Amino acid sequence: MSLRRVTTLDLLAAKREGRPLTMVTAYDWPTGRLVDASGVDCVLVGDSVAMVVAGRASTIPATLEQMIYHGEIVARAASRAMVVVDLPFPLQHLGCRTAVEASARILKETGCQAVKLEGTAGQADVIAAIAAAGIPVMGHVGLRPQAVHQLGGYRMQRDIDTLLADARAAAEAGAFAVVLECIPTEAARLITETIPIPTIGIGAGLHCDGQVLVLHDLVGLSLDRVPRFVRQYADAKLAISEALLAWREDVLQRRFPGAAETLG
C-alpha cells in the first residue's frame, strides 16, 4: 500500500478504473489513526460527531469550532487517507463569501485536504465559489441530515429527477465527489453512470463508485438504533462493557492490581 496521500485525482482515477472507494468517519486521535491504517481512501470528520460522540439528537448543533477541533486532531492522525471535514449547518446557506471563509478556516486550521457540504442544486454557486478558491469540495445529496426537520425525518429520498439534478449540479459546479445518502439503488446507479465524478453511497445500494459508513455504526459502538443499511462488523459496545465489568469486579475482589501491575 502506497504511503502517499490520497488526492482528488486518485479518486477520479478509481472511478475510471472501476475500483471501489472507501470512506469512514473518525473524530479523534485513536479513531483517526485506526481508520487511516485500515487503508480507506478518505477519512470523514462528519458532523455526525454531534450525534455519535456528543449524544445530540441530530447533526444540526455541530459548530464550526467543533468541526475544526475534531478535524485538526484527525488530520494529524491520518497520514495517508484524504481527510474531509464537514461544513456544519448553516454555513453553506449564508452566501458564497461566508461559505468560502468557513471552508478556508477548516482547511488552514485543521490541515485537512477537503470539505464536504450538504446541499441541493440551490447550493451550486457555493460549491463553485469554494472550488474556485482552490478548496476541494465534496457534495452531499439525497437525505441531508441537516435538513431532517424539513424532510420529515431520516427518510429515503425518492424523487429521481431532483436527485439527478442535485448531483449533476454539484459535479458541474466543481465538486470532486458526491455523497449519495439514502436513495433508491436505481437512482444511485443512474447518477453514478451519468456524472463524471465519484459517487460515495450510504444507504444507496451497490452501484455507487464507493461506500461510506459512520465508524461507530460499523464497529458496534453506536448506543442507539442504527439504520438498516448499516452492517456491523464488530461489537465494540460489548467489548468495552465486558472489560469494564471485569475490571470493576477485579477491584472489588482485590485481584487488581496484581503483582504485574504493582510498581514496587
Is 14 a residue that touches ligand KIV (CB under 6 A)?
no
Q: Compute the half-sphere exposure of residue 174: CA atoms within 13 Å on the CB side of its CA.
A: 17
Q: Based on the shown chain and the rule CB under 6 A, indicate whether residue 24 belongs to the binding site for ligand KIV.
A: no
Q: Residue 152 burial (CB < 10 Å; 0-12/13-18/19+)?
A: exposed
C-alpha span between 207 and 136 (Å, rounded) = 24
The 3-state DSSP class for residue 191 equals helix
Residues from 86 through 145 that contact ligand KIV (CB under 6 A): 86
Least distance in angstroms from the C-beta of 163 to ligand KIV: 16
Query: Is 75 among the residues that bind ligand KIV (CB under 6 A)?
Result: no
Is residue 141 within 8 A of residue 169, CB to CB? The reply is: no
Report the residue number whose CB is nearest to ligand KIV.
46
48 binds ligand KIV (CB under 6 A): yes
Q: Is 204 exposed, middle or buried (0-12, 13-18, 19+ CB in 10 A)?
A: buried
Q: Could you tell me the smallest distance in angstroms from the CB atom of residue 259 to ligand KIV?
A: 45
109 is catalytic: no
Candidates 11-19, 43-51, 166-174, 255-263 — which segment interacts with ligand KIV by CB under 6 A? Answer: 43-51
72, 101, 172, 181: the active-site residue: 181
Please report the sign of the dihedral spanned by the C-alpha atoms of residue 243, residue 246, residue 251, residue 257: negative
**Looking at 39-47, 166-174, 218-226, 232-240, which segment touches ligand KIV (CB under 6 A)?**
39-47
How many other C-beta atoms can be found within 10 angstroms of the C-beta atom of residue 164? 17
Candidate ranges 32-40, 41-49, 123-131, 182-190; the one touching ligand KIV (CB under 6 A): 41-49
Active-site residues: which are they?
181
Applying CB under 6 A, which residues contact ligand KIV?
25, 44, 46-48, 59, 86, 179, 202, 212, 214
